[in-house]
Amino acid sequence: EIVLMQSPGTLSLSPGERATLSCRASQSVSSSNLAWYQQKSGQAPRLLIYGASSRATGIPDRFSGSGSGTDFTLTISRLEPEDFAVYYCQQYGSSPPYTFGQGTKLEIK
């Protein structure tokens, strides 16, 4: 089972700043089969990024994903007030189970 570790656990930033979130896998994630989800308080998760770097439909271009192998990054170029939420990475494409990282909480400084 691939274990995903996200860092930092909490990130405190101000609107307009750049956010960099990390997701590290315990073993190589094949074919960059990594997704990122955003979860706002009281809501279901929403798909942001798939294939490590492809934005989902309707996701603003301030969100970008990068990485391969065991190290992946989600970057939000200029934070908007609605971006403060919890972000999860997920690996897929290997035999079940799918695994998620423990999440990074992005909070307003």
Contacting residues toward other proteins, per CB under 8 A = 33, 35, 37, 43-47, 50-51, 56, 88, 90, 92-103
DSSP state of 59: -
The CA distance from 96 to 78, in Å, is 35
Question: Residue 37 CB, nearest distance to other proteins (Å)?
Answer: 8
Closest contact distance (angstroms) between CB of 34 and other proteins is 9
Strand partners, 107: 12
Please identify, using beta-carbon distances, which residue of 9 and 16 lies nearer to other proteins: 9
Q: Give yes or no for a contact between 54 and 41, defined as CB atoms under 8 angstroms apart.
A: no
Nearer to other proteins among residue 68 and residue 78 (C-beta): 68
